[in-house]
Amino acid sequence: MRPFEYARAGNVSEAGQLAGRFIAGGTNLLDLMKLEVEAPEKLVDITRLPLDKIEDTEDGGLRIGALVTNSDLAADPRIRRDYEVLSRALLAGASGQLRNKATTGGNLLQRTRCGYFYEPSQPCNKREPGSGCGAIGGFNRIHAILGTSDKCIATHPSDMAVAMQALEATVETQKTDGSTREIPLIEFHRLSGDTPEIETVLEPGELITAVRLPKSQGGNQVYRKVRDRASYAFALVSVAAVVKMDGGKIEWARLAFGGLAHKPWRNHDLEAALKGEAPSSALFDKAADILLADAKGQGENDFKIPLARRTLKAVLAQATKGA
Amino acid sequence: MNKHVMNEAIGETRLDRGTQGVIGKGVDRYEGKLKVSGLAPYAYEHLAGEDVAYGFVVPGAIGRGAIKSVDASKAEALPGVLAVISGDKITRASSQPMAPAAQTIDGEVFHYNQPVALVIADSFETARHASHLVKVEYEAKKGRYDITARETVREPDPMPMEPVNERGDFEKAFAAAEVQFDETYTTPSYHAAAMEPHASVAKFDGDTLTVWTSCQLLESGVGQIAAGAGIDQEKVRVHSPYIGGGFGSKLGTSPDAVLSALGAMTVGKPVKIALTRQNVFQATSRRGETIQRIRIGATRDGKIACFAHECDTTNSPGNGFFEPSGISSVFLYAGKDRRIAHNLVETDCLMTSAVRAPGEATGMLATEGALDELADRLGIDPIEFREMNEPEVNPQDDTPFSSRKLIECMDEGAKRFGWDKRPATPASRREGEWLIGYGMASASRANSLMQSSAEIEMSPDGRATVRTAMTDIGTGTYTILQQIAAEMLGLPLDQVDVELGDTALPPSSGSGGSWGANSAGSSVYVAAEAVIAQFAKRLDVEADTLTLKDGHAIAGNRQIPFSEILNGESLSVTGTIEPGDTSESTHQASYGAHFCEVAVNAVTGETRIRRLLTVGAAGRILNLKTATSQCYGGQIWGIGYALEEELVIDTRNGLLVNHDLAEYHVPVHADVPKLDVVLLEERDRYASPLAGKGIGELAIAGVGAAINNAIYNATGVRVRDYPITMDKLLAGLPDDIDAAA
């Protein structure tokens, strides 16, 4: 771990001005600093900021403070009642100990688990731009099949963000100049493209203050995570579904996917194809066709293509049952 | 010298009489309270509060090549850095078990992330950061990283078994067989991944070196440290009183042991080194990947005529150890013509060495799958098929079995498990999304006895203290030695103390190969017999006529407290056990049978273990609780080997890709169902004076195959490439996903 400066932010507007890497739970950043995969010159501790509340909003939704822990969020009765897909996704991630420390904002910003990213002697465009990609042609079982580039095939490891994507969450931030903005979660994370080291649209010093969930629209909510052991493993494929049925037909469906791409994945064409249709195996296959039309395996992760199809079909079958 | 050489079967002993009533009982661990309260110091925790320095290993950045230069100037310039040691003396990896010394790097890189230098600083954090500032220039060479390429094939050393065992003419018999089975199984590389990372603290007092380290075999450890540090063996004392798991990875001393000594020599104060989890994966040892071809010739009615098990495994330059996957194939099933053979494919990856049940752990993943396959092809129940091919004597050389309850284990297990409810045809039972299947497999683990010594000191008040340079790697050694001494001497447990893990104590077998309990335990038996002989002499009676109970000797109508016999003085005797003729005149192994019910998800291919039962027979069980715990551990490893564990080698450069516990998957609690273990009553009077056999590694043998066989029964898909991850099942799963959900 490289020596670093430490500062504690006393209030939200000061945090950005302290000009350093924000640290809250530290469940990912500290590991990376020990390996010197990350070597920030300054850490700004934001854990004392008053961002640990879950509040009702005027439009009937919820505002989740950036410092609300994953454990508290998963256990919140409003989340469990109206946004159960989020609670289930959170509980499918990490371990109890990690969820006690990990925060809402930090979860969005966690970095990939690619083995080449974690090994400083290997090429990695995300860790060291321009050095190459060890995972392409290497061991890429956990890597992306959608939206990849020839610079990076890493995945985003969050479960929480996948469920939030299906719930059409927005990310509330404050910039260093004190201005605030709301970023739809779908626009928050970037694809790897030519600059895999840039993972979000956040500007330097811009602080996540909250995640907003719009008023619950009901519907059947499912989170299904497929992984290599029963717990404490990152998703190979995960699907978050919120589906509203009406008279035996799909009134609307929102679906998001983890383990497939550099960001939590959503496909509006897929959702449009489901709208107004009666559930059937053929329809689900059509949805999978749309999702996976441009899917590209990297060798070790080729199985994710049929696995994503099967998982999506099973989730749709489950989410379209009953009213 | 009180010595017992195991030249003939042991008769009835005080352990059989059980007068004190403590032997075999599932009593709590002797050191349990210290461990759960944090008071049992592990290697790294010694010298707390003293003025010490901290070492950090610098891992190399290439797979194979020469070290051109090491520029430590930036590291050395960092405040707090005391020294950077590089050069030929740096150890490559752990020492091989019982080897005279660990290999040194001699200016080269032999595997990816091999230690190339050591930084010593006044804090761990400074040493760690400085390790990143050491600039090493390499001249890369082409490496050999892929076992399947077979670039260099050579004979392994004849340890732990002869690489080739043949009888009759296998090829001829196989060509003539009515039914020919010929399939190849593969197992990946594995890591022991013990919970306590390898760590050492080294301290010089004058020219005398003391090392606290996490090591299973202390006697050879002394020599390895002495050789690595370049000092006289007589000047080295090693302590290893508590060990957080070894599983073979601590048989030989790990790099931190030698490096902490070199560091202490250099900076003139004690040096502590704890390998990071990454270092543990990269710089200790691993289990080699295997390619195993199984050929079995049989009659149509199910009699095995000939059996061949031919294996490729791997090690690095200068290492002859091989994963002996065929070790149980030598004796487990009948068949006149036999061929068990191993090749070593030399690769430029981290050296391979012993990991829990070397041989059986990988070999039985293959053979027990093959037996299931062949039984299925022949239309015979897999238990019946095994029973039909039960040999009467060791089929390799006709020696009698010292004891063997394989069939009893299978029958008892079948009854308890409800084997008769096994789905008759594969892929025929379904519960919603889940495909249900049953599987079974045999278990066996070769037994061995090693020379070992122990001292018993009777203090004037009649208490006993057992002392030996034995180790307890979490297996329960402290406890069983206490129980043996207490039962033999007729003392309540709380009147017996045990001191282990110090090379100043009588030399022991150490912990490895499941021999520890039998070997160290027998030395305590011998020492106790010597104490009893002394008592008898003082009381002027025959030792055999003496009954010992609750600290009293009972002879005829006399009952004399030990304190009276000892007459105000302490009494110290040392006992030694030595293997003898019975290890040649009989074939010794522990046996068992595993039964498993799995549920395989019809959509995703995720496997969940629903029930797992192991029935074992390993001679006398010294402590029911710790023996059962050993079996639980083996079962859990079996779940890992069947479903999850794989140390991934990037065959382009030799990188061990998943070198941490986030991506090297061992089973977590959610993977493990309620485990059932049943141990059958057995005494093996040829194995040791205790009439026990090794149990530490029995349960891992075959359990993964039982899971594999259950997955086949559930899905109809046979996977021969471990681990059985979902991608290997997907193509064979049903397509009616919508109905499943």
**Whether residue B410 sits in one domain with residue B484:** no
**Whether residue B707 sits in one domain with residue B629:** yes
CA distances to B150, B488, B549, B560 from B22, in Å: 54, 10, 11, 21
B655 with A122: Cβ contact below 8 A: yes
Residue B515: what pLDDT? 94
Chain B positions touching A121 (Cβ under 8 A) are: 59, 61-62, 113
**Whether residue B623 sits in one domain with residue B599:** yes
Chain A: residue whose CA lies nearest to B129: A1
Burial tier of B352 (Cβ tally within 10 Å: 0-12, 13-18, 19+): buried
Say yes or no to pLDDT of B740 above 60: no
- Catalytic-residue membership of B682: no
Would you give the DSSP letter of residue B717? -
What type of residue is B492?
A: P
Chain A: residue whose CA lies nearest to B433: A314
Question: Could you tell me which residues come within 8 angstroms of residue A110 by beta carbon, excluding any fewer than 6 positions away?
Answer: A27, A28, A156, A157, A158
Last residue of a domain, one of B563, B579, B595: B579
Chain B positions touching A94 (Cβ under 8 A) are: none
Contact by Cβ (8 Å): B391, B331: yes
Rounded Cα distance between B91 and B78, Å, is 25
**Whether residue B574 sits in one domain with residue B594:** no
| Domains identified in chain B, total number | 2
Pairing of strands B135-140, B290-298: unpaired
CA dihedral B405, B411, B417, B422 (to 10 degrees): 130
Q: Which of B201, B193, B176 is nearest to B45 (CA)?
A: B201
Q: What is the pLDDT of residues B345-393, one digit of tens each?
A: 999 999 999 999 999 999 999 999 999 999 999 999 999 999 999 999 9
Who among A122, A226, A281 is closest to B606 (CB)?
A226
Interface residues on A facing B, Cβ-Cβ cutoff 8 A: 1-3, 34-36, 113, 115-116, 118-122, 134, 137-139, 142, 226-233, 236, 280-281, 284, 303, 306-307, 310-311, 313-315, 317-318, 321
Residue B426: other Cβ atoms inside 10 A = 17
Q: Is B474 left (phi over 0), alpha (psi -120 to 50) or beta?
A: left
Say yes or no to pLDDT of B481 above 80: yes
Last residue of a domain, one of B558, B579, B600: B579
Question: Considering chain A, what is the average pLDDT of its residues?
Answer: 97
B299 inside domain: no
pLDDT band at A323 (very low <50, low <70, confident <90, very high): low
User: What three-state secondary structure class fits A7?
Assistant: strand
Q: What is the pLDDT of residues A167-216, one digit of tens each?
A: 999 999 999 999 999 999 999 999 999 999 999 999 999 999 999 999 99
Residue B159: what pLDDT? 82
Exposure string of B202-237, with b = 16+ CB inside 10 Å and e = fewer, is bbbeeeebbbbbbbbbbbbbbbbbbbbbebeeebbb
**Whether residue B560 sits in one domain with residue B433:** no
B66 inside domain: no
pTM of the full predicted structure?
A: 0.98
Which long-range contacts does A227-230 make (Cβ < 8 Å, 24+ apart)?
A: A227/B606, A228/B644, A228/B665, A228/B725, A228/B726, A229/B643, A229/B644, A229/B665, A229/B667, A229/B668, A229/B670, A229/B671, A230/B606, A230/B608, A230/B668, A230/B670, A230/B671
Kindly state the tokens that stand for B110: 């032999």
pLDDT band at B725 (very low <50, low <70, confident <90, very high): very high
**Whether residue B538 sits in one domain with residue B413:** no
Question: Considering chain B, what is the average pLDDT of its residues?
Answer: 97
Last residue of a domain, one of B547, B579, B611: B579
Rounded Cα distance between B310 and B295, Å, is 9
Alpha helices in B603-676 (DSSP H): 624-643
User: What three-state secondary structure class fits B328?
Assistant: coil
**Whether residue B675 sits in one domain with residue B535:** no
A138 with B652: Cβ contact below 8 A: yes
pLDDT band at B1 (very low <50, low <70, confident <90, very high): confident
Count how many pairs of residues, chain A against chain B, have C-beta atoms within 8 Å.
Answer: 107
What type of residue is A175?
A: K
Q: What is the pLDDT of residues A58-112, one digit of tens each?
A: 999 999 999 999 999 999 999 999 999 999 999 999 999 999 999 999 999 999 9
B551 inside domain: yes
Considering only residues 420 to 459 of chain B, which have any Cβ-Cβ distance to chain A shorter than 8 Å? 433
Say yes or no to pLDDT of B741 above 60: no
B712 inside domain: yes
**Residue in the structure block whose two tokens are 């019975």:** B582
B19 inside domain: yes
**Whether residue B614 sits in one domain with residue B687:** yes
B612 inside domain: yes
What type of residue is A204?
A: P
B741 with A318: Cβ contact below 8 A: yes
B632 inside domain: yes
Who among B668, B737, B741 is closest to A230 (CB)?
B668
Count CA atoms closer than 13 A to B555's CA, side-chain side: 18
User: What three-state secondary structure class fits A66?
Assistant: coil
The ipTM assigned to this model is 0.97
**Residue in the structure block whose two tokens are 């990269």:** B282
**Whether residue B573 sits in one domain with residue B525:** yes
**Residue in the structure block whose two tokens are 């100049």:** A177
Residue B739: what pLDDT? 59
B379 inside domain: yes
**Whether residue B600 sits in one domain with residue B708:** yes
Q: What is the pLDDT of residues B130-145, one digit of tens each?
A: 999 999 999 999 999 9
Say yes or no to pLDDT of B77 above 90: yes
Mean pLDDT of B191-218: 98
**Whether residue B625 sits in one domain with residue B717:** yes
Domain enclosing residue B682, as ranges: 359-448+585-739
Rounded Cα distance between B715 and B423, Å, is 11
Q: What does the DSSP assignment read for B530-581?
A: HHHHHHHHHHTS-GGG-EEETTEEEETTEEEEHHHHHTT--EEEEEEEEE-T
Query: Percent helix, strand and coil across chain A, each rounded to 5?
Result: 30, 20, 50
Rounded Cα distance between B376 and B7, Å, is 44
Tell me the CATH number at B704: 3.30.365.10
Which helix (DSSP H) or strand (DSSP E) does residue B706 occupy?
helix B703-715
**Residue in the structure block whose two tokens are 């080269």:** B108
**Whether residue B712 sits in one domain with residue B572:** no
Say yes or no to pLDDT of A322 above 80: no
Rounded Cα distance between A279 and A245, Å, is 10
Who among B278, B657, B667 is closest to A139 (CB)?
B657
